[in-house]
Amino acid sequence: MTDVTRLDLGSDIVDLTAAICDIHSVSGDEAELADAVEAALAGAAHLATIRDGNTVIARTDLGRDERVVLAGHLDTVPLTDPPNLPTRVESGPEGPELWGRGTVDMKGGVAVQLRLAHLLEAPNRDITFVFYDCEEVEAERNSLTRIGSTRPELLEGDFAVLLEPTRALVEGGCKGTLRAEVTTRGVAAHSGRPWMGENAIHAAAPILTRLAEYTPREVDVDGLLYREGMSAVGIEGGIATNVIPDSCTVSVNYRFAPDIDEAAAEAHVRELFDGFEVTITDSAGGARPGLDRPAALAFVEAIGGEVSAKQGWTDVARFSALGVPAVNFGPGDPLLAHKDDERCPLDQLRAAEQALLRWLGGESTAHAAPPE
């Protein structure tokens, strides 16, 4: 490792977030940031640090009764053009905000993890910090998938917190997601003689009608309300402007509540599009919020505030699949993730840091009263 960028974990959470955002780390290009994280943690005697690809895992081993996992991904989606970095602070409707790629998804969360790793030399629970790469791309490149399969013991714990943006409120579980292609077939012909063919786009009318008339379920799971969605996310058909199209494909994304599994979700989609050719292209199960588990209840009690259902799919489902109940909790508004105007209120960075410090038995530093 040469020329590693230095991250000062003793600095304020806002400055640390900005410094992390300013190290570009679009998916697949996380080496510089992973090096910086590894180097920053190397000096901490209370942590054992493991490097696996561009994933860094740091663990306390204090023999506590409980172990919790705090996980966050190092990568971001691509920058805007011109680039929305370096970060800058601007005033917002409710106070100053940090602007730039990653401020929401999710380098604010990564900064909170690093601050906790630095400050919590003797936490009340053992902690595994996971900093992983390639979350914003296909599931097979996601390092949490790889490590969950090759070294699952590193992800074990009684409870996990994924520091994805939730406006520093607890969001439990997540919905599942399934993608299907619903296809019609026809017979090509010259459009001057359409009766010689069979129009596959016209044949797709009932597919769109069923989608337009679909009423999504709203499901209560462990006290949280999950709203489903059945959405066309793409449609494609046509050969040339003078040819009757011989096929038309509607791409459908079903977001399902965690009371059903992937197989049930698939059966529902196949039933909805009965009579059409349906190909499942991708699916991932959801995660129940697990708020009936003692570790989860203790977390919610310590953090306080509103608890709601996570409507998007997140890696909490990977922990759920490993038998580890998990919630989402991190700074930033998820609606601003990936957006050109991605930005995070400074207060949310501070609130997330303080809440987790409180839960894990650390001293509050940022808001400590000045010496008398």
Which residues are at the interface with its own copies (CB under 8 A)? 175, 177, 179, 190-196, 199, 201-205, 208-209, 211-212, 216, 227, 229, 231-245, 248, 250-251, 253, 255, 282, 311-313, 335
Q: Cβ 126 to its own copies, closest distance in Å?
A: 33
Dihedral sign, CA of 326, 329, 332, 333?
positive
Decide if 35 contacts 66 (C-beta within 8 A).
no
Q: Cβ 38 to its own copies, closest distance in Å?
A: 31
Decide if 9 contacts 118 (C-beta within 8 A).
yes
Tokens of 301: 């009690």
Backbone angles phi, psi at 55, to 5 degrees: -105, 140
Tokens of 109: 């969360």
Active site annotation includes 75: yes
Taking the C-alpha atoms of residue 214 and residue 293, their distance in angstroms, rounded to an integer, is: 35
CA 62 to chain centre: 29
Lookup result for tokens 């998938």: 145
Q: Cβ 311 to its own copies, closest distance in Å?
A: 5
Taking the C-alpha atoms of residue 239 and residue 105, their distance in angstroms, rounded to an integer, is: 39
- Active-site option among 135, 158, 171, 353: 135
Nearer to its own copies, 96 or 197 (CB): 197
Decide if 238 contacts 183 (C-beta within 8 A).
no
Q: Cβ 114 to its own copies, closest distance in Å?
A: 28
Decide if 311 contacts 226 (C-beta within 8 A).
yes
- Active-site option among 35, 75, 97, 126: 75
Nearer to its own copies, 31 or 189 (CB): 189
Nearer to its own copies, 154 or 211 (CB): 211
Q: Cβ 148 to its own copies, closest distance in Å?
A: 22
Q: Which amino acid appears at position 246 of this protein?
A: D
- Name every residue whose Cβ is closer than 8 Å to that of residue 151 and which is 6 or more positions away in sequence: 52
Tally of CB atoms within 10 A around 99:
21
**Secondary structure tally for the chain: helices H, strands E:** 9, 19
Nearer to its own copies, 336 or 356 (CB): 336
Strand partners, 132: 73
Q: Cβ 364 to its own copies, closest distance in Å?
A: 34
Catalytic residues: 75, 135
